[in-house]
Amino acid sequence: MGYFDYQRRGGSLLGNLAILLGSLFFCPTASGARVILSEDFESDLPDTLPVSADFYARSVVGFVNPNTEPAKIAVSGGAFPDPFGVDNQSLVFHNPNSAAQMAITWTSIFDDDPAGFRNGSVEFDLWMAKPLPQLGAPGGKFWSFLDARIGYGGADRSGVTTNGDLTVWNNIRIQNIFGQAEPVESVVDAGAQYTVGLQTTYTDPSPGLMGPDLSFHVKIDFDGTVGSEKSTFYINDMPVTWLQDGETAHPWVPGAPGVNVVSFLTDASAFFSGGATNVYMDNLVVINDDLSSLGNGDYNGDTRVDGADFLLWQSLLGATVTPGTSADGNGNGVVDAADLTLWQTNFGAGAATAAISTIPEPTGVCLSLLGSAGYLAGRRRMTLAARSLG
């Protein structure tokens, strides 16, 4: 196979300005202080990769010309009309003939140590087009699907694979299958092979919660209680019951320390049994319930949310830090406008505050950040490297 792995870090001035504006008007409140990623793709340019993602990779079946293979991941609104609504943007996994495997991965929202994320959730909306059969395909079945691979790896991790990086499960596959007598809409927990000893499935009833040309919500919830680590899969806020064991929660792979990689992909294996088609993802939210109390705006640790915390935030504005340290209240690894919002929301909490002489009003502080956009803007770096998805 041939592979193209584009490593993407930093951001353009316009891209960072858009993110900054979004954070000013749509920052999480105190109740959402542990949100480490909230991505609706609205600030990204159509037909591009989202700025927030860290890696994109594609491989193709060896006898397919990679220069003409159309499969790709991109933001909708340009070549791809968005199925969620008019003027909405989402992320499309375009795989018209199943000859390619594409993956998109987020790593920088996590600390390198996966033990920093043992309790939390990953959730998103999905819309899966009804797949069209591939002419002449053996077996006659055709499908659309998305794999969610959530796990851990070292400092140089670029995705969750079977080669080096490891998963909390092997993968969760959400799929629509047509053309043969097998489940039409189902979820496969392949990782259960490593835990409960069998690959378990959930088959959607009819009428169901998920299906082709239908929007539905997915959530994977993590409980990292030592000795009884488990995860629960939800569709439209309903926990699914796995058919083979009748359980709603499955244990982690033994020894899994936690999570520092979230990756989504389609797979080339369907090429040998039929066609595939588009899957759209929107409103991707990752919540880490293990973040420290910095999430309430007390950045200097004196149990008060006051002017001293603002001065610390101001002195570190734009700095890249270990997630959840310094003045990084939302744990995304950067001291930014969202951390100021946490401070604003909780200002005055705790013991009596020792006010500094001039603390701007919260709205004034937010507006003044517009002048800091250039300071926050970084240079985009894109490197081309050969890498296997495993």
- The domains found in the chain, sorted by start residue, are 35-290 (2.60.120.200), 293-376 (1.10.1330.10)
- Measure the CA–CA gap between 162 and 170, rounded to whole angstroms: 8
Are 158 and 173 in contact by the 8 Å Cβ rule? The answer is no
pLDDT of residue 84: 96
Closest CA to 289 of 218, 223, 217, 220: 223
CA–CA distance, 167 with 176 (Å, rounded to integer): 24
Angle in degrees, CA 345, 351, 357, rounded to 5: 70
CA distance 309 to 2: 50
- The pLDDT value recorded for residue 222 is 95
pLDDT at 90: 98
pLDDT (tens, 9 = 90+) of the chain, 390 residues, equals 333 343 443 344 444 444 334 333 333 333 334 778 889 999 999 999 999 999 999 888 777 788 888 889 999 999 999 999 999 999 999 988 777 889 999 998 888 899 999 999 999 999 998 876 665 555 566 778 899 999 898 888 887 655 555 677 668 888 887 776 677 889 998 888 878 888 899 999 877 888 888 899 999 999 999 999 999 999 999 999 999 999 999 999 888 999 999 999 887 655 555 567 789 999 999 988 887 666 678 887 666 788 888 888 988 999 888 777 778 888 788 899 888 888 887 776 543 222 222 333 333 444 333 343 333 333 232 222 323 344
Q: What is the pTM of this model?
A: 0.71
Distance CA 118, CA 185 (A): 29
Question: pLDDT value at position 366?
Answer: 40
Give residues with Cβ within 8 angstroms of 203, minimum separation 6: 183, 185, 186, 243
Smallest CA-to-CA distance from 327 within 301, 303, 361 is with 301
**DSSP states along 325-367:** STT-TT-SSB--HHHHHHHHHHTT-BSPP---S----HHHHHH
CA pair distance 126, 175, nearest whole angstrom: 11
